[in-house]
Amino acid sequence: MCKRLARASEVSGRETRIVYEDDMKISIFGLGYVGTVTSACFARNGHEVIGVDVNPLKVALLNDGKSPIVEDEIGDIVQAQVQNGRLRATADVDGAIADTDLSLICVGTPSNGNGSLSMSSVLNVTKSIALALRNKSQYHVVVVRSTVVPGTVNRQLIPLLERESGKRLGAGFGLCFNPEFLREGSSVRDFDAPPFTLVGVREEVTADMVRQLYAEIKAPFLTTSVEVAETVKYASNIYHALKISFANELGSYCKALGVDSHEVMDIFFQDAKLNLSKAYLRPGFAFGGSCLPKDLRALLYHARAHDLDLPLLESILPSNELHVKRAVDMILAQGKRKVGILGLSFKAGTDDLRESPLVRLTETLLGKGYDIRIYDRDVSMARLMGGNKEYIEKEIPHLSCLLARSLEEVVDFAEVIVIGNSNKEFGEVFSKRRSEQVVIDLVRMLADSGKSQPNYHGVCW
Ligand SMILES: NC(=O)c1ccc[n+]([C@@H]2O[C@H](COP(=O)([O-])OP(=O)(O)OC[C@H]3O[C@@H](n4cnc5c(N)ncnc54)[C@H](O)[C@@H]3O)[C@@H](O)[C@H]2O)c1
């Protein structure tokens, strides 16, 4: 796909829509792992690419048709694209901005000594692009690919670009965040077949240009807010790190027992319902019940008996406790003493109260002298006749006497209403509550995250 047709600008309504009938002219700042692969692959896909780097060695190498990085397939692609004239490198920022329609920032963001992200390369390159934009009259799009912490683009990069370019976002230039998901070692294959192309963007005209840039890539094109896109990149990498450490700690435990860890995981993978799935990945309330806490404690005790340290697995129960405390603190912060709790069992559809985090939450509030009413139909039924009658009478008589007969009773009584589990009936609270009542939702009862509700707080959204 190396046709070179005319470019066209169309005016649709109040917005200028830039239509590329063919390849685009793009500049890529930073010729490291991400920048080199991105430059070479976009050139191979038909775009005209200028790579920009402050390192003269990398610029010279690329102009010689050699890749500045070692990576499968990349040497041949760079050589072919430099030879056919679609790829070149420079250190001249002004020239690169003047000659292109869109720039991708792929400079490094390494760790500082204290763990914070070093932003110096991103800030330097953004400033130099902004200064070059002063002399450019056409709309120019800046695409941030470097990994930056959520909030960076909106709070730091847009103000910096506006200040130094003298232009306004959406008028003189566009800016978006487009995280990179490639892995070193298979980066060309990852570039060609990403899970999706994700763009955090405010202006439609910029989203359109990026959509055209990726026209050759057959993957879902997702647009969202800049902060969500920035956060998805971290969620992904941190989840990958978590998975690796989980597998390694489990593997070490298996080895200590003489169990084949790979056979364990091969079977584990076959559960696509709970293990490899969306299950348990929605932010919500703490876990509890008769199995998870008990089994974690048993495994950790067993591992210690084999002189094994498993810091990741050991951190799970403290993390869970902290999450209960977070919910308690949210309730205390309301400064109101009458609290209605909807749900006492650890999840909807059961009367099982063993290790329910809602029992711990309620006991904490009770200990602080709060006035409590609880509504949980399953627990009330169990108190009357279920197998759990004895447990309720012996283990939590101080809570069972607080059980209300109906949701309405709790709503009439409470200043703060806590939705504790996802029993569908609790959704009725939103039509029955008074607007001055505070609702603290631990399970995201409302799909729109309660944005339409007054005095509504989600525990982790
Ligand atoms: N390496 C990966 O596999 C990978 C994958 C996804 C995302 N990322 C993210 O992409 C970004 C780039 O990572 P990388 O591994 O390619 O970095 P890298 O360190 O390999 O390369 C960065 C390049 O930027 C250049 N540079 C620095 N300041 C510059 C400036 N002012 N103008 C032009 N060039 C400049 C450097 O000379 C270097 O060549 C990082 O934020 C990283 O977190 C990396």
Q: What is the CA radius of gyration of the chain?
A: 28
Q: Is the pTM of this model over 0.85?
A: yes
How many Å lie between the centroid of ligand 1 and the Cα of residue 293? Answer: 42
126, two tokens: 């953004």
C-alpha to C-alpha distance for 93 and 99, rounded to whole angstroms: 10
Tell which one of 61, 67, 72, 106 to mutate to probe ligand 1, the residue whose CB is within 8 A of the most ligand atoms.
106
Asked if residues 25 and 100 have their Cβ atoms less than 8 Å apart, the reply is yes
Tracing tokens 């603190």 back to the chain, one arrives at 329
Name the residue with the closest Cα to ligand 1, atom 19: 108
C-alpha to C-alpha distance for 454 and 386, rounded to whole angstroms: 38
Cα separation values, 253 from 269, 314, 353, Å: 18, 13, 30
How many Å lie between the centroid of ligand 1 and the Cα of residue 162? Answer: 24
Tell which one of 28, 104, 107, 164 to mutate to probe ligand 1, the residue whose CB is within 8 A of the most ligand atoms.
107
41, two tokens: 């692959």
Name the residue with the closest Cα to ligand 1, atom 28: 121
Q: Would the CB of 55 count as within 6 Å of ligand 1?
A: yes
The predicted structure's pLDDT at residue 17: 52
How many Å lie between the centroid of ligand 1 and the Cα of residue 177? Answer: 15
Q: Would the CB of 34 count as within 6 Å of ligand 1?
A: yes
φ, ψ of residue 144 to 5 degrees: the values are -90, 120
- pLDDT mean for each 10 residues of the chain (461 residues): 39 47 88 98 97 98 97 96 98 98 97 96 98 96 98 98 97 96 95 97 95 96 98 98 98 98 98 98 95 97 98 98 98 98 92 91 96 92 76 84 94 97 94 96 88 92 94
C-alpha to C-alpha distance for 365 and 372, rounded to whole angstroms: 8
Name the residue with the closest Cα to ligand 1, atom 41: 146
Name the residue with the closest Cα to ligand 1, atom 21: 32
The predicted structure's pLDDT at residue 144: 98
Indicate the angle between helix axes 226-257 and 292-305, nearest 10 degrees: 50
The predicted structure's pLDDT at residue 18: 56
23: left (phi over 0), alpha (psi -120 to 50) or beta: beta
The predicted structure's pLDDT at residue 20: 55
Q: Which of 56, 31, 60 is nearest to 43 (CA)?
A: 31
The predicted structure's pLDDT at residue 14: 44
How many Å lie between the centroid of ligand 1 and the Cα of residue 456? Answer: 42
Q: Would the CB of 147 count as within 6 Å of ligand 1?
A: yes
C-alpha to C-alpha distance for 87 and 74, rounded to whole angstroms: 13
Query: Which residues are tagged catalytic?
Result: 291
Tell which one of 28, 29, 52, 53 to mutate to probe ligand 1, the residue whose CB is within 8 A of the most ligand atoms.
53
